[in-house]
Structures are given as C-alpha cells and as structure tokens.
Amino acid sequence: MFQTIDKLAVEQLKYALAGVEDNVWSLFAEDGPMRMYTRQIEDEGGLPVDPLKATHSVEGVTALEFMHYFYDARYKMLWDHTLEAMSVVEHISPDSVVLHQKHKTVWPAAPRESLFVSHIRRVDEHKRDGAHDLYIVCNRDVQRADVPLGSSSSVRVGLTVSMICETIVKDPHLHRKLTRDDVKCNIIYVSQVHPGGWVPTAALRHVYKKEYPKFLRTFTEFVKKNVKEKPVSI
C-alpha cells in the first residue's frame, strides 16, 4: 500500500503544479482570488469525467492549518455538506487513512458512496522560491471486500482528488512571533470524479459548476473561523 500511496502523491503533485494552458482548460468560475477551470472529457460509455483545477489564495492561514482541516476525518461532516455519513475504515499510518463516505442523493441519480485512501505529506523539496513550505493531501478510490455497498441501488464513485498548499510568510526576516497578518496560503485543488452509474450529463455539469466553487468557499470560511483565535501553526 505504501508504494501505491507514494506513487499517487508524486503523480498528483506533478499534475497539480503543471500550468493551466488556455487551449486545454476553460475558466468557469471566478470569485476574488479563486479561479476554477475544467476540461470536458467523457469516458467510453459517454459519462462525463471532467477534470477540475482550482487556484485560490487565503489570507491569515498557513498551509499546515488549511491541510489539517481538509485531511482530518473528524471535521469532514462539519464542512462537507454533500455528506450523509462518513466513517474511518482503517488508520494505515499517521499520514494515511481509508475513509468511507455516503453522499446525499440528488434525484434522479442513484445513491452514491465513495471509498478512498487519503494521504498527507510535506513536500518542501518541490516548493517554489519565496514559499515557506509545501503540503499535499491526495485521495484516490480503492476497493475492499470488507466494505460492501450500503444498498443494492447504491453506486460507488471513482475519484482522484488532491489539494496542494504553500505558506507565504510576507516578511521572512521577522524576528518575532508570527501573527495572522504575516501569513497567507496559496492553494491548488485538482479533482477528477467518475460518477459510477448513469447520470444526466448536462445536469451533472451544471451541478458541479455550482457546487465546486461553493465547496471551496465554504471550506475556506470553515478554516478561517476555526483558526481565528488560535496562534499561528506553521
């Protein structure tokens, strides 16, 4: 399992840090510093599996803090409003876990579940000039015989999702304790989801173009609210 996770982290880091070419990616959402891009791709059966890429910048938060709330399963039900239920299947190691999620059903689609491994690591060897650090969280679907579908009508979603985050310390020569005003984090989020069973293509694309920006805004506000009164963790 370690080799699989390690390969996933390396692949996703390279993919996330690659540029957004104008002729390949199209911008579909813009809100302050947040930009969201997509490409229209369908699988062999005609199901939409559009990859998504988002860039964002958040003042007053470090990469470690942002990633802590994204990775830690204890918080998922508090910020991910698409979830009906979530459970930890296995703690593989301090930086890797297998999660099982049941998603709220959106008519007329079948109930959907996701089963995936989630991994977090610090990857400073890939950080850009001027960045204090660089972290990645990557998630990919897995199959396990000990986690059956919740019902005969349920569908298991395929997914590859990664979030990459760097901290910028605005004045790296400060010789005092950092405050929220001294830091910001830059975020790259990449996602490709296979819906599993049938879904109406146009409706799915309409939903994700509305829901992805909503997710990133909601999660950002959740993190900012939770770190506001706490000392900077870096």
Dihedral of the alpha carbons of 168, 73, 188, 204, in degrees to the nearest 10: -150
Does the global pTM surpass 0.85? Answer: yes
Is there a contact between 186 and 165 (Cβ–Cβ < 8 Å)? yes
Is pLDDT above 90 for 75? yes
Read off the DSSP letter of residue 26: E
Segment 210-219, tens digit of pLDDT = 888 999 999 9
In the 8-state DSSP scheme, what is residue 16? H
Three-class DSSP category at 69: helix
Query: Would you state the pLDDT for residue 24?
Result: 75
Residue 232 lies in a domain: no
Full residue range of the structural domain in which residue 8 is found: 2-227
User: Residue 1's closest CA among 70, 92, 72, 69?
Assistant: 92
Confidence of residue 108 (pLDDT cuts 50, 70, 90): low
Is residue 90, in this structure, part of any structural domain at all? Answer: yes
Looking at the domain assignment, is residue 69 inside a domain?
Answer: yes
As a whole number of angstroms, the distance between CA 109 and CA 157 comes to 12
Tell me the per-residue pLDDT of 171-209, one tens digit each, with 9 for 90 and over: 988 888 999 999 999 999 999 988 877 777 787 788 888
- Asked if residue 38 has pLDDT above 70, the reply is yes
Determine the 3-state secondary structure of 24 from DSSP.
coil
Q: Is the pLDDT of residue 143 over 70?
A: yes
Q: Is residue 142 part of a domain?
A: yes
- Distances in Å between the Cα of 187 and the Cα atoms of 40, 63, 136 are 23, 8, 10
What was the pLDDT predicted at 4?
84
The predicted structure's pLDDT at residue 197: 73
Distances (CA, A) of 65 to 2, 107, 110, 157: 25, 36, 35, 28
Q: How many other β-carbons are positioned within 10 Å of the β-carbon of residue 187?
A: 24
* CATH classification of the domain holding 213: 3.30.530.20
The alpha carbons of the chain give a radius of gyration, in whole angstroms, of 18
Q: Is residue 140 part of a domain?
A: yes
User: How many structural domains comprise the chain?
Assistant: 1
Structural domain includes residue 234: no
